[in-house]
């Protein structure tokens, strides 16, 4: 039997100048790997959520820049730098809320600008994108170690959306902590919210948990309050898509409600994210751009209309949890507690272990 930690997959890889990724819109019933050789296809895959989860989107964006560079070196050798900046801005705009995409694209552009010569830039960019993925996986494993120790012995842990290996370069943020704690024998059960409307919990987190042999149950999003009130949850762990300088957290829609419910019920609420998700230039979560997605995600199920004809639908994909509801933020560099303003900055600067 595969252990919880061994079950983690890498959802994306660089193979001979192409991006190979598992199509997350088809999971859990079909495991289909796509091979993309044009950066525009990678942009489309990000927009359509074939690859999703803030850190995984960052890795995909980095590989997209590497693919674009190889193409532009042939088609626009004289205007390579300008054309690469244009392609990078198209890639960086694919989804707005997660911080990791812009962070990864900026890092790739920095590599391009500082590359020794046109002859080496394409190779340097591929190497940089692979480094971004490797570092993300290493960060997640470190977060797993830091975060597992926070969880109550024998407790049941609620998680939201999918912050597992699928959402990252590998291993997972919130789910990486949960898998580590499960493997350590520290926790007794995992409760996964289905995560309407895209069902990342029901389709993806449930897939990862069952593959890892974890004792887990799925609940409707609206059952979370009841579960907390009746003592069925001892801690909540979620991921994050962007964290502002004051510790406000943008994450999958519904996270804010869970955090308020956790506080009301005296349950710790932990957030796990690599430092690449921190956006310390943003003073607070009020400034985070929230992505609104197609109403069809809400009104249809598997392409079949379920909502009454003629009804409008509003589909914000993320919300912002004010920092006062967050018990601690787990990063690869350690666990940060309030006050987050100084704590997050010291963490990024490496002055806190």
For residues 329-344, one letter each, b for 16 or more C-beta atoms within 10 angstroms of the residue's C-beta and e for the rest, the string is: bbbbbbbbeeebeebb
160, 255 contact by CB (below 8 A): yes
Contact 191, 227 (CB under 8 A): yes
Least gap, CB of 273 to ligand MRU (angstroms): 7
Minimum distance from residue 100 beta carbon to ligand MRU (Å): 8
| Stretch of 47-55, 112-120, 257-265, 304-312 lying at the interface with ligand MRU (CB under 6 A) | 47-55
> Quick check: 50 binds ligand MRU (CB under 6 A)?
no
Residue 10's alpha-carbon distances to 90, 106, 137, in angstroms, are 25, 23, 9
Quick note: the x/- pattern for ligand MRU over 306-335, rule CB under 6 A, is -----------x------------------
Selected from 10, 186, 252, 333, the binder of ligand MRU by CB under 6 A is 252
Contact status: 275 vs ligand MRU (CB under 6 A): no
Q: Between residues 50 and 333, which has the closer beta carbon with respect to ligand MRU?
A: 50
| Sheet with 33-36, side-by-side order of all strands | 12-15, 18-22, 33-36
Number of residues that bind ligand MRU (CB under 6 A): 18
The whole-angstrom separation of Cα 170 and Cα 164 is 8
Return the number of the residue (111 or 140) whose C-beta is nearest ligand MRU.
140
DSSP string across 31-98: --EEEE-SHHHHHHHHHTTSS-SHHHHHHHHHHHHHHHHHHHHHH-GGGHHHHHHHHHHHHHTS-SS-
| Shortest distance in whole angstroms from residue 248 CB to ligand MRU | 14
Q: How does DSSP classify residue 288?
A: P
Verify binding: residue 279, ligand MRU, rule CB under 6 A: no
Which of 180, 246, 251, 275 lies at the binding interface for ligand MRU (CB under 6 A)?
251
Catalytic residues: 241
Q: Kindly list the residues in this chain that would bind ligand MRU in the complex (CB under 6 A).
A: 52-55, 161-163, 167-168, 173, 200, 238-241, 251-252, 317
């Amino acid at each position: 039997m595969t252990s919880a930690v061994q079950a983690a997959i890498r959802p994306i890889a660089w193979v001979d100048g192409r991006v190979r990724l598992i199509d997350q819109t088809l999971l859990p019933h079909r495991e289909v790997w796509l091979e993309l050789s044009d950066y525009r296809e990678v942009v489309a895959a990000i927009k359509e959520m074939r690859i999703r989860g803030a850190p995984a989107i960052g890795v995909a964006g980095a590989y997209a820049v590497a693919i674009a560079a190889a193409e532009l070196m042939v088609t626009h050798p004289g205007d390579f730098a300008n054309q690469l900046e244009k392609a990078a801005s198209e890639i960086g705009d694919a989804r707005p809320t997660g911080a990791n995409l812009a962070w990864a694209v900026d890092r790739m552009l920095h590599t391009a600008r500082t590359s020794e010569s046109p002859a080496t830039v394409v190779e340097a960019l591929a190497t940089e994108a692979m480094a971004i993925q490797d570092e993300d996986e290493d960060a997640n494993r470190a977060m797993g170690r830091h975060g597992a120790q926070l969880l109550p012995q024998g407790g049941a842990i609620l998680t939201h959306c999918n912050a597992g290996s699928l959402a990252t370069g590998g291993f997972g943020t919130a789910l990486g902590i949960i898998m580590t704690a499960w493997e350590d024998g520290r926790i007794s059960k995992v409760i996964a919210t289905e995560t309407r409307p895209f069902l990342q919990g029901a389709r993806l987190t449930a897939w990862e948990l069952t593959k890892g042999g974890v004792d887990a149950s799925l609940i409707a999003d609206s059952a979370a309050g009841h579960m907390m009130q009746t003592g069925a949850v001892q801690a909540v762990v979620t991921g994050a898509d962007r964290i502002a300088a004051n510790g406000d957290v943008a994450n999958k829609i519904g996270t804010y409600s869970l955090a308020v419910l956790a506080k009301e019920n005296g349950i710790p609420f932990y957030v796990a994210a690599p430092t690449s998700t921190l956006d310390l230039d943003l003073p607070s979560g009020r400034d985070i751009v929230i992505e609104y997605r197609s109403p069809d995600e809400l009104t249809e199920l598997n392409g079949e209309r379920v909502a009454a004809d003629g009804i409008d639908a509003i589909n914000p994909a993320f919300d912002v949890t004010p920092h006062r509801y967050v018990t601690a933020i787990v990063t690869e560099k350690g666990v940060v507690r309030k006050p987050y303003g100084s704590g997050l900055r010291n963490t990024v600067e490496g002055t806190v272990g």
